[in-house]
Amino acid sequence: MRSVSLAVLAALLAAGPAAAQMGDMPGMAANPGPTIAPPPTAAELKLPRPARARGIPGALAAEGALTAISTCLGNGYKVTGLVTDTAGVPIAMISGDGAAAITQRIAMTKAQAVLKYKMTSGEVAAKAAADKSFAAEVKADPMIETARQGAIPIMIGSEMVGAFAVSGAPGGDKDEPCARAGLAKIADRLR
Amino acid sequence: MKSFVFLAAAVFAVGAAWAQPMPPDNPPRPTMAPSPTNAETGARPRPHRATGITYELAVEAAETAVAHCAALPKDYRVTALVTDSAAVPIALVTGNDGAAITQRIAMGKSQLVVKYKTASTDAVAKAKSDSAFRDELAANPLIVAARPGGLPIMLNGQFVGTISVSGTPDGHDDECAKAGLDKIQSRLKTF
């Protein structure tokens, strides 16, 4: 037991600022690293701010994400809904009450898989299961690593304008219907 | 016992990831943290959010803040972020074409509010006259600097979360965050 405590202590020390932040939360199990990257450095702040890639309006994104969350809640699952633009920048990210914090980062991996391969993340997972070199490519991408079902492309006609991801149900096959319901709610108003 | 080692490994992995030097400044770092490792996704339990407001109220406040900024004469495109009391996002909404970097800036403001339990404008004022405080902020990679636009969400004297806005270059972030919070203050409920 002592060696375990020492290992935890050593790991916490090594983990530095992120872990120190977690240590500020008495009585809480540690969350696995912040969802959103740290604030920009002074140098980053001075850079020109690039125009956003194609995406859908913020209000529609939030409405779709809320619908996905309530759909999953109706099935008994507490999830995060994430809508991104075509560059993977979030437009709306909403976590339902009781959804695990890590589902936010998992949802992002699904959205990245959709955007990179222009198919559902479930199709990416199926392809990775059947194709070793493709699986290795997925694993080598630090924004994806593991392909998981639960995200779908947002299409206007034949053009992809973003990704809609859900995470939190016990299995991507249970996340994807919620993403589809969320997207269906806003599909005829997309622009 | 085994789970302790697992947790230690996960925490260590997080620490290692976040301790890495910032990548080159261009292109800017993605908003969201990279894919969680298998150790992180496998770790149990998966902590859900700390005490925070319910997600529907969070979305309403965020959308109100974004709309308030968009209705100002200069039509600001901002990000609004509502977090729980441990800085885990509940709702992140970015107005149409808001700069991606505003999402990370907003997160930094919420981290400051969580850590110091004060409006970020108060921290800005304190940092101006207190160089030790300024240095302390600069040394915290989750905060870096004090910026106006982050507010604590209080319910019956208890700190239950934050709302932060980023994206107005001339000092309207606070006003928009306050508009979002005012919209829901009388109905606040925690989860």
**What DSSP string describes B38-60?**
HHHHH-SS--B--S-B-HHHHHH
**CB hemisphere CA count around B65 (13 angstroms):** 37
Look up the ipTM and state it.
0.85
- Cβ contact A89–B31 (<8 Å): yes
Tell me the three state secondary structure of residue B6. Answer: helix
Look at A29-43, A113-127, B47-61, B124-138 and tell me which has the smallest mean pLDDT: A29-43
* Nearest chain A residue to B6, by CA: A8
- What is the pTM assigned to this prediction? 0.85
pLDDT at A189: 96
Tell me the DSSP string of B128-163.
HH-HHHHHHHHH-TTT-S--S-EEEEEETTEEEEEE
Q: Are B144 and B110 in contact (CB under 8 A)?
A: no
Distance of CA B6 to the CA centre of its chain: 28
With beta carbons under 8 A apart, name residues in chain A contacting B4: 4, 7-8
Distance between B39 CA and the closest CA of chain A, angstroms = 10
Per-residue model confidence as pLDDT tens digits over A48-80: 888 889 999 999 999 999 999 999 999 999 999
Distance of CA A180 to the CA centre of its chain: 16
Of A32 and B52, which is predicted with more confidence?
A: B52
Contacts A36 to B, Cβ<8 Å: 31-33, 81, 89, 92, 103-104, 107
The per-residue DSSP string of A23-49 comes to: HTSTT-PPPSS-SBPPPPPHHHHHS--
* Helices and strands of chain A, counted as H and E runs: 8, 4
Q: Is A39 on the interface with B (CB under 8 A)?
A: yes
Interface membership of A92 toward B (CB under 8 Å): yes
For A82, phi and psi rounded to 5 degrees?
-130, 130
Given a cut of 50, whether residue B144 has pLDDT beyond it is yes
Chain A hits for B22, Cβ within 8 Å: 41, 44
User: pLDDT (tens digit, 9 = 90+) per residue, A2-27?
Assistant: 444 444 333 333 333 333 333 333 33
Q: Which residues of B touch A1 (CB under 8 A)?
A: 1
| Paired tokens of A32 | 């696995």
β-sheet bridge partners, residue A94: A81, B91
Residue length of chain A: 191
Query: What's the CA gap between B82 and B163, in Å, rounded?
Result: 4
What pLDDT does A31 receive?
52
Residue B26, pLDDT > 50, answer no
- Cα separation, A95 vs B32, whole angstroms: 14
From B182's Cα to the closest Cα of chain A, the distance in A is 19
- What local confidence, expressed as pLDDT, does residue B24 receive? 40
A136 in reach of chain B (CB within 8 A): no
pLDDT digits (tens, 9 = 90+) for B46-105: 887 789 999 999 999 999 999 999 999 999 999 999 999 999 999 999 999 899 999 999
Residues of B in contact with A78 (CB under 8 A): 48
